[in-house]
Chains A and B, each alone.
Chain A
């Protein structure tokens, strides 16, 4: 396919194209939602990579799919399904992984939760004889039809979540790199671990609304993993992670707007390119 056939909406004039990108309300909402999601995913993803809980993040993203399909079946808003299922998934993972003393036991427990979540999601989809085209956007994301209310909910959930992470940042960092000594210093390591999984669940529920359940990782893991390679300074690392997540989201949304390819594909591809460059350069 020639370039002009992929990027059907592009004028190849930067100022004109940028103006066009923010001209319509639906695109303004998508950009606002993407910005909120990218900041959340960048911050929480940095801690997730540090704690080696990418597998837990992946499991929660499949739980988001379960929640969305259950919500469809029950006739409640899909967004409620995302948040409820990811919260329940976080509690289940915390209970299953226990004290995190053995990473192999933890990953086995996480895998079991993941398989169950996926099976339940499949069951709900089978029972739900609605429009199957919804399944596509549940799994792979969409930026069409993000409403003003949805942006508001994203913001109302993200702001306190990020405030919580900021307040607990030092104990969380301590418990993540050095749980034994952190425990002796009076930090309640297991409680903090459960709290982090809940924050991770919320972040997944937010991210899934833009990228879809299967492509949550593009924003949650890839910018954070690249940031860890670029700098070993904690504050700078979080900042780089957020900056990369924002760049990936905005670029992905713009490419999706001007092209015939879906947003999930673009965000994931841009994120992957960022990671490859970070690996090659460091």
Chain B
């Protein structure tokens, strides 16, 4: 059973088709990046996997269930989330919410409560946030907040992790650090990861696969196969060139409604 399987899927938002004929598979334990220009429907794809965006056509199986049916086994980190500096809640509390924050009732001290606290502490150690998790989350840097939010998404030990642009607000060393962390979790915990990214270069060496959305549809495959002149020209339907910079970076040139200078 694959973690995510979409066949001939179509998504419509406000009467407009965002993408169609999308057939992608994410295997268990695979680290896959979702790439594409702004407005190509990357977040829509994530929302479709969660069942928050119903499919207009096609089939989907998420951890063996229809979209929305397996959300208890999915860790989700939405786009561009940072806490207001005045938010006076500790990082450890934010992680704890990921574990039992949706539960009604009064939590009583006892064995279950201690087990929950131990799980939270272990997950915080896993993301390397131990030395700042007790501070108010609003006072932490973007990278620190992002690690704690990943811990929040991980604390229920999900089988699928959906991360919508988790690297966007981070500086380059932090982008690489967080990508390495996600790769390690992917391997150690056998978690499938779909990570929406704006720039593939900092993370390309960690990836097992790429889903590239453009031109109203998507292609998937190994990073070096998808991010190539031939594949992207076919996808965009206009001549597109992938340049290999001397520092190893990939630069996509000529893609419509893309900023020509921007690396993808």
Binding site for B on A (CB under 8 A): 50, 166-171, 173-174, 177-178, 180-182, 184-187, 228-229, 231-234, 237
Contact = CB atoms under 8 A, between A and B. Distances in A.
A170 B76 contact: no
A184 B52 contact: yes
B71 A169 contact: no
Given A173-B97, A178-B94, 17 more contacts: A166-B106, A167-B104, A169-B106, A170-B102, A170-B103, A170-B104, A170-B105, A171-B104, A173-B101, A174-B101, A177-B94, A180-B81, A185-B101, A228-B88, A229-B88, A233-B93, A237-B88
B108 to A, nearest CB: 11
Contacts of A177: 83, 87, 89, 94, 97
B41 interface: no
Contacts of B104: 167-168, 170-171
A43 to B, nearest CB: 13
B100 interface: yes
B173 interface: no
Nearest to B90: A232
Given A169-B106, A237-B88, A181 B136 contact: no
Contacts of A174: 97, 101-102
Contacts of B102: 170-171, 174, 182, 185-187
Interface string B210-228: 0000000000000000000
Contact of B98 (A166, A181, A232): A181
Contact of A180 (B78, B106, B107): B78
B186 interface: no
B62 interface: no
Interface of B: 50, 52, 71, 76-78, 81, 83, 87-90, 93-94, 97-98, 100-107, 135-136, 152-153
Top 4 A-B pairs ranked by shortest CB distance? A174-B101, A232-B136, A185-B102, A180-B78
17 contacts: A50-B88, A167-B104, A167-B105, A169-B106, A173-B97, A177-B87, A177-B97, A182-B102, A184-B50, A185-B71, A185-B98, A231-B88, A232-B89, A232-B90, A232-B136, A233-B90, A233-B93
Contacts of A171: 101-104
B103 A50 contact: no
Given A170-B97, A170-B104, A171-B102, A181 B89 contact: no
A174 B101 CA distance: 6
B88 A170 contact: no
Given A170-B101, A171-B104, A184 B89 contact: no
A181 B78 contact: yes
B264 to A, nearest CB: 26
Contacts of A228: 88
Given A174-B97, A232-B136, A167 B106 contact: yes
B103 A181 contact: no
A232 B101 CA distance: 17
Nearest to B81: A180
A228 B50 CA distance: 34
B89 A234 contact: yes
A166 B105 CA distance: 7
Contacts of A185: 71, 98, 101-102
